[in-house]
């Protein structure tokens, strides 16, 4: 397995290339993305880069978990061809003047709580696409709005990369796998299960208003006040009403102690 710190160090891979962009702290969810990537390409490249552009001034950039040696070992075990682990200086050698705008999609739901977040995501993803030049890139459904805005960027800017979304991987008790789960205390870990329980309660309903009522009731029962709990169109992330039918995303974000968690589920209305 090759380790590249710069574009010049990336190997020339012959055949179809898949990219799995990550911020490191790899868990089983990331590994499942890598395994799926092998089914879509001849070679898999994993990027490990904690992107400062997508963190707000009061967010956890400095304490975001960094487990680079373990990440390399996981990639080696999963048969990755190359790990691209650039420095901040390599990715952003001079102050940025031109960035990617996520448009209206980047200002609603998660974007309303984290202004500028999706602009930072799209900017780094487009740079990674230009540097690695993959044929296909894989992203987890757990970050459903991120997946939606990346798909829209690729479509709107004619980026020649196929985007594949992968199902959310969960712990045995239902908690969505996340690098931030390590921040939770034992009691907070138990309380965090209310998020997946709320989604399951909503999933059992079929009318949008009933979906939201059922999910809210679970969170209220645990005394959790979410940043948002919304039922949205998966392509635009605009909220749907009782006239809507088809696939929708029930998405939630909440703080459990000092840790902010997100989760979502796809359902049919």
SS (H, E, C) 52-114: HHHCCCCCCCCCCCCCHHHHHHHHHHCCCCEEECCCHHHHCCCCCCCCCCCHHHHHCCHHHHC
- What would the pLDDT profile of 164-210 be if each residue is shown by its tens digit? 999 999 999 999 999 999 999 999 999 999 999 999 999 999 999 99
- Say if residue 105 is in the same domain as residue 16: yes
- Which positions make up the binding site for ATP? 23-30, 140-143, 169, 177-180
pLDDT at 40: 98
Residue 77 lies in a domain: yes
* Percent residues over pLDDT 70 in the chain: 100
Residue ranges making up the domain that contains 146: 2-166
Residue 137 lies in a domain: yes
- pLDDT value at 63 more than 90: no
Q: What CATH code is carried by the domain that includes residue 242?
A: 3.30.1300.10
- Say if residue 193 is in the same domain as residue 138: no
- Active-site annotation holds for 30: yes
- Which positions make up the binding site? 23-30, 54, 140-143, 146, 169, 177-180
Mean pLDDT computed over every residue of the chain = 96
- pLDDT value at 259 more than 90: yes
Residue 27 lies in a domain: yes
Domain count within the chain? 2
Full-model pTM: 0.95
pLDDT at 109: 98
- Are 218 and 194 in contact, with CB atoms under 8 Å apart? yes
Residue 86's pLDDT band, with cuts at 50, 70 and 90, is very high
What DSSP state is assigned to residue 142? T
């Amino acid at each position: 397995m090759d380790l590249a710190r710069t574009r010049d160090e990336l190997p020339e891979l012959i055949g179809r290339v898949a990219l799995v962009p990550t911020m490191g702290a790899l868990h089983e969810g990331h590994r499942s993305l890598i395994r799926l990537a092998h089914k879509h390409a001849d070679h898999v490249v994993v990027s490990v880069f904690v992107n400062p552009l997508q963190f707000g001034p009061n967010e956890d950039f400095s304490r975001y978990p960094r487990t680079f040696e373990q990440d390399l070992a996981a990639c080696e075990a999963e048969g990755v061809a190359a790990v691209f682990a650039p420095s901040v200086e390599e990715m952003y050698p001079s102050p940025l003047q031109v960035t990617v705008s996520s448009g209206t999609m980047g200002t609603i739901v998660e974007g309303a709580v984290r202004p500028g977040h999706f602009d930072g995501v799209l900017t780094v993803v487009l740079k990674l696409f230009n540097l690695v030049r993959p044929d296909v890139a894989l992203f987890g459904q757990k970050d459903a709005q991120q997946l939606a805005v990346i798909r829209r960027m690729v479509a709107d800017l004619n980026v020649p990369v196929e985007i594949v979304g992968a199902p959310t991987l969960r712990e045995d008790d239902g908690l969505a796998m996340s690098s931030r789960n390590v921040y939770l205390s034992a009691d907070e870990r138990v309380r965090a299960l209310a998020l997946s329980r709320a989604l399951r309660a909503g999933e059992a309903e079929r009318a949008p208003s009933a979906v939201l009522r059922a999910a809210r009731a679970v969170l209220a029962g645990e005394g959790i006040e979410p940043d948002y709990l919304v039922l949205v169109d998966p392509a635009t992330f605009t909220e749907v009403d009782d006239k809507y039918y088809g696939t929708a995303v029930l998405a939630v974000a909440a703080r459990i102690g000092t840790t902010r968690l997100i989760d979502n589920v796809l359902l049919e209305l």
